[in-house]
Amino acid sequence: MLLRASGAATGTATEVAPIVEPSGDTGVSHGRVLIELTEAVCRRSPDLAQVRAAVLDAVGPAGLVEAAATVGIFNGLVRVADGCGIPLDDGTLSISTADRVALGLDRYGGAANTDVSRTVAPPSDDSVRSLFH
Amino acid sequence: MRMAGPPAVTDPFAPERFPVAVREDLLEAQRTAWDRLAAPGAWLTGAERHDVADVARGADPHSEVGRVAQWITVSPQSVDRGWASDQVATLGAERYVETVAVTATVVAIDRFADAIGAEVAPLPDPQPGTPTGERAAEVVDIGAHVPIDATAQGANVGRAMSLVPAANRLFFALEQRMYTSGDEFWNLTWDRPLSRPQVELIAARTSALNECFY
């Protein structure tokens, strides 16, 4: 949700399908190499050094630090979310239906923690805050 | 004549251990979390937390908390209500939550090291002492596997471990430096080395690779 929302806010036409099945362009600057880094870290790939060098070339050392921090902390966050079995926040549930269906996210095991059939009023505005209530 | 080498680096988060310059606030957050890893927590001893951390980086489990740590490390997407209920019944919700927090903290710091091309930090030695027994005074059921602090506000993930405030702080103090800090979370157009869409792209792909619904 925040990828789509931040894309809209920054005037970046983002395509979310490659999040699940990486092919095609996400519309995000240097998106391809950032996805490759994410995959190499999560899969403990032997290509990691090569991918890391490509990220360094693309976004510089400070960008590599940000990328590394993001992939690191989200590997923790997914374990917090699924380990504790939290449901989706209502705001996110209400606006994510189309993307969840299109991307097949409702088949993930953690979907059982949320009643996805529940009708929730859409957020009162399009701010990020409204997604997490 | 043998020349003296450089002094041994004892701080696993010293800047020289990283191949590129890392923000000091980020290093300090990781250093602080690491120092607390093997100290007594609220519900786990230092030795238990050390075991959890060891399992989170691949060691075989030898205890109930170790087995929970292994499952959450290796296959978080397969944690379902039945399995979690069994673990909570065995450990108690507080020890379960603290196990999740220590596991997630180690995974986050280790994957950062991998991504940036640094050696993972050696685990600190277990510290003696007694867990504090701290827990939230009032809890509510939001449909999660564990109860949460009735006074906790914000996104569900941010209060997921609020049953044990120290466990929540352990992980989310780190999150504040590795992702977004304070009101920065609400800013979709921030001016940082990576744009918000670039950061969210990595976040979303990480979640998808872990098959995380949340």
Give the per-residue pLDDT at B160: 98
**Cα(B70)–Cα(B145) distance, integer angstroms:** 18
When pLDDT is averaged across residues A79-85 and rounded to a whole number, the result is 98
Under a CB-based contact definition with an 8 Å cutoff, are residues A79 and B72 in contact? yes
R_g of chain A computed on alpha carbons:
16
Query: CB neighbours (10 Å) of residue B15?
Result: 13
Q: Does residue A50 belong to the interface with chain B, where contact is any CB pair within 8 Å?
A: no
> How much is the average pLDDT of A83-97?
89
pLDDT tens, position by position, A104-119: 898 899 999 998 888 7
Contact B21 A62 (CB under 8 A): yes
Q: Is B83 on the interface with A (CB under 8 A)?
A: no
Name the residue facing B203 among A65, A70, A109 (closest C-beta).
Answer: A70
Place A23 in a pLDDT band, splitting at 50, 70 and 90.
Answer: confident
Residue with tokens 């030795």: B47
pLDDT tens sequence across B52-85: 999 999 999 999 999 999 999 999 999 999 999 9
pTM for the full predicted model? 0.93
Q: Which chain B residues contact residue A96 at CB under 8 A?
A: none
* Three-class secondary structure of residue B139 per DSSP: strand
Residue B132 clears pLDDT 80, i.e. is over it: yes
Q: Is pLDDT at B167 greater than 50 in this prediction?
A: yes
Query: What pairs with residue B139 in β-bridges?
Result: B149
